[in-house]
Amino acid sequence: MGDRLWVALNNVLSLAVERDLDYRDFFLATAAAYDEGRGSSLPIRALVRALEEEAASCSLERARQYAWQLVGAGYSAVVLDCLGLPELYWFYAQLLKRGLRLAVYGYVNATGRTAGLLEEFQRASVREVAESLGGSKSSSLDRAVHRELGEPVSLEELARRAEEHLKPVVNGWVRQLTSLAAPFFVISDHGYDFAREGGKWYLVHGRAPNALSKLAPLLVVSRPPRWCSSR
């Protein structure tokens, strides 16, 4: 169950890595998918369709169950509020470059809001979700989306702000997580959508119709480089 969504997500990420896209290129390709796909170099609209069609088989309940399985198997948890598709890609690409073994899964949070995850975990905050998993949490991405990228600007300016405020958050977590001595996973409550007012763009989530903001990704890192044999 969920194979179609997971395949669609991995197709987008793998193709972007194959093309060696930088963060800005991926961000702009994602924006293009909201312009009827014109100019998008990635199959992101296929991912959006899969999110619509696989909601039942990729529910947050399944995400919660898998998260607990990982914790039980000794994985450390990181809960990130608002991990958008471009930031998920940047995580994926940077961790691959460090030789880590990755698996990426996608689940559907139909609300596109944190409330969906809190209801599933029966907790009052993202911090409580992270604590219940024995892990860490961060809301830096969500704050940046609302404070820095939530007002209409040109697409070029939006991309510049994303590089200034979102990309560094991912870089910081990559540095921190690759220093861990244990395997880990990153789970998020939702992503964000691109919206337009005339010729200007901004980011939003939880506003109908939700598209990529419904994506609740789970990134599993099963083999940090330090575990590899030196022989």
Q: Tens of pLDDT along 189-220?
A: 999 999 999 899 999 999 988 899 999 999 99
Alpha helix ranges (H) inside the chain: 3-18, 23-33, 44-53, 60-72, 85-97, 114-121, 126-132, 140-148, 155-165, 167-177
Please tell me the predicted confidence (pLDDT) of residue 223.
57
pLDDT per residue over 76-123, tens digit each? Answer: 999 999 999 999 999 999 999 998 999 999 999 999 999 999 999 999
d(CA 81, CA 129): 11
d(CA 220, CA 106): 11
- Token couple for 73: 């198997």
pLDDT value at 226 more than 60 = no
d(CA 38, CA 40): 6
Residue matched to tokens 């880590």: 100
Residues 6 or more apart whose Cβ sits within 8 Å of residue 71: 77, 133, 134, 135
Query: Is residue 231 included in any domain, yes or no?
Result: no
Count of domains for the chain: 1
| Cβ pair 44, 85 in contact under 8 A | yes
**Domain containing 182: what range?**
3-223
Q: How many CA atoms lie within 13 A of 98 on its CB side?
A: 22
Query: Is residue 7 included in any domain, yes or no?
Result: yes
Cα 212-213-219 angle, rounded to 5 deg? 80
Strands 76-80 and 184-188 come out as parallel
d(CA 166, CA 23): 10
| C-beta neighbour count of 70 within 10 angstroms | 20
Query: Is residue 229 included in any domain, yes or no?
Result: no
pLDDT per residue over 6-47, tens digit each? Answer: 999 999 999 999 999 999 999 999 999 998 766 678 999 999
pLDDT value at 224 more than 50 = no
Query: Is residue 228 included in any domain, yes or no?
Result: no
Q: How many CA atoms lie within 13 A of 154 on its CB side?
A: 3
pTM, to two decimals: 0.93
Please tell me the predicted confidence (pLDDT) of residue 230.
31
| Cβ pair 139, 126 in contact under 8 A | yes
Please tell me the predicted confidence (pLDDT) of residue 195.
96
Query: Is residue 230 included in any domain, yes or no?
Result: no
- Token couple for 227: 């575990």
pLDDT value at 225 more than 50 = no
Query: Is residue 69 included in any domain, yes or no?
Result: yes
Query: Is residue 38 included in any domain, yes or no?
Result: yes
Query: Is residue 94 included in any domain, yes or no?
Result: yes
